[in-house]
Structure 1
């Protein structure tokens, strides 16, 4: 099994934090990407202890962001929550097996109610990241901007392409990077060029993989599949990330009802097999 495989906790969504850590370790997977909600259920202090006891690396924490609101109380609340997320990321990463800094994955947020100004919303994303940069840098955390597929632009992420994410990241120092998520970027005719660009600037903060499954379910959030089950050609994407210099963990992050309904250990084993077949060969 690849030592670079990290199981994103969303792949076994119904697992508690303890169950997710136990499942990952028992499967022989060395890293885990955590989500804030299960961490909050046990409290950050207990979560840090559980991570330390697990012997796993923490590759990322999901998620921060959602800061497209205009000036006002909602925006202040969002920025304060992101500062707490930075602190959580630093504490959980330090508790991990190698104690290395992790990425806080940022989902930009969609258009505020009644707003149709995509460009203006992206500017507010940039401004929010600027307000958080010093906090992240001081904590040793990378703010990882994740572009989401354009079908989510209205309600989840006004940052839709890797190029747009890099455009924002390049306005700041090394504490700001980007997420390359195969589900969200595989369709983009400029994606290989943009991965290379991100690599030249040292901006890749996370590489996440899953497949694109059709027909799309009614809830398009749940269209992610196990690598090899869908339409994505992982070879060029993996090679581009490799050539861009990314040597960190590679997270498998899957949102799909059938995966969530399956036993945790079964999912972890299936992910490991698929990773070795479809992802690991692209990285060497």
Structure 2
């Protein structure tokens, strides 16, 4: 695999114009970016910043949220933003159940149809739509796609160069079918991104912020890395963590610990 990438979410309070030189100083060559922070900084300005620093933008997060009425226009903007930043990967978080609906199967079908509607735009921009399954506890409000198998089923009708999947250890570590899913994703050339985050207990009150840096929780990171590597995946490995304690620390310190956790899992 190509190497370590720092996802911007891991150092949320590290301003982009400090994060980029911090990565360069640490010998890091990849960075995953988030739409809101990039827009606040200025998309064109951010693109120039990372390009001039010699960094690869390994992904942009996030598109999706197809339960919102404005999903089509918003996702077209996300594809354009990814293209401007020079990344070939737009991470999709599908969104939850619309309104008061309890029809999760129908919601998943809508996700598949919505992705299909975006495929021509993605292909034209050279941006791959990367479906990310999230842990089932997020199914109602954030992501009705809960397993790698579901993500692969949604991707299957579309060209692999247009639609892939994200393997995120935090969201998939609990699923005993994930190993067959990783092999299938690799065989179909569907792995668009590989992300590391640990599962820590007890979970904080805001479960969305319950991710730990690699090596601090329950996930067998090395097994995931070996399984992904065995498929022939040669992309970057992002560390993407959401946790208030992590965010409160200096960005350079978090980056150093993230690198150490990556090296222990992947090297």
**TM-score, length of structure 1 as denominator length:** 0.91
Number of the residue aligned with 1:111:
97
Q: State the Cα deviation string for residues 192-228 of structure 1 (Å, max 9, x = none).
A: 0000010110000000001100001101111111111
Aligned length: 266
- Structure 2 counterpart of 1:97: none
Residue 157 of structure 1 aligns to a residue whose secondary structure is coil
Structure 2: gaps spanning 5 or more residues = none
What's the Cα RMSD here?
Answer: 1.2
1:240 and 2:239 are equivalent in the alignment = no
User: 2:119 aligned to 133, 138, 144, which one?
Assistant: 133
Show the counterpart of 2:48. Answer: 49
Maintained 8 Å contact 1:209/1:250: yes
User: Take 1:201 and 1:3, find their aligned partners in 2: how far apart are those partners?
Assistant: 20
Is structure 2 residue 161 aligned with structure 1 residue 202? Answer: no
Moved more, 148-157 or 3-12: 3-12
Match of 1:83 in 2: 76
CA distance in 2, matches of 1:19, 1:128: 37
| Corresponding residue of 1:160 | 146
Task: Report the alpha carbon displacement of residue 3 of structure 1 after superposing the two structures with TM.
Answer: 5.6
Q: Is the 8 A contact 2:169 2:197 kept in 1?
A: yes
- Alpha-carbon deviations, 1:146-190, whole Å to 9, x = none? 000000000100000000000000111120000000000010010
The answer as to whether partners of 1:3 and 1:30 remain within 8 angstroms in 2 is no
Q: Counterparts in 2 of 1:35-46, with a 5 A limit?
A: 35-46=34-45
Q: Which runs of 5+ in 1 are unaligned?
A: 94-100
Superposition misfits of 4+ residues, deviation over 6 angstroms: none
- How far apart, in 2, do the equivalents of 1:210 and 1:22 lie? 23
Structure-2-length-normalised TM-score: 0.97
